[in-house]
């Protein structure tokens, strides 16, 4: 998982992205569809592309 590879907790990622820890948890569990703006923010923090994180082949 990209977040753990960057050694970030859900709480840390949430603060860097301006959302709650619960939001990050729901995104990771596949139970919440984030806005494109939030997707891009998460990608920037994790140094990943949208394809890397949000699209499965």
3-state secondary structure of 32: coil
pTM of the model: 0.90
Q: Where are the domains of the chain?
A: 2-49
What are the tens digits of pLDDT across the range 2-57? 999 999 999 999 999 999 999 999 999 999 999 999 999 999 999 999 999 988 76
Contacts of 16 (CB under 8 A, 6+ apart): 8, 45
Crossing angle for the helix pair 36-46 and 10-17, to the nearest 10 degrees: 120
CATH class for the domain made up of 2-49: mainly alpha
Residues 32/26, Cβ–Cβ less than 8 Å: yes
Is the Cβ–Cβ distance between 51 and 40 less than 8 Å? no
Helix (H/G/I), strand (E/B), else coil: 31:
coil
Query: What pLDDT score was predicted for residue 56?
Result: 73
């Amino acid at each position: 998982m990209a977040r753990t590879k960057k050694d970030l907790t859900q709480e840390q990622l949430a603060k860097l992205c301006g959302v709650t820890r619960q939001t990050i948890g729901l995104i990771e569990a596949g139970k919440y569809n984030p806005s494109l703006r939030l997707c891009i923010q998460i990608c920037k923090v994790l140094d990943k592309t949208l394809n890397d994180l949000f699209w499965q082949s």
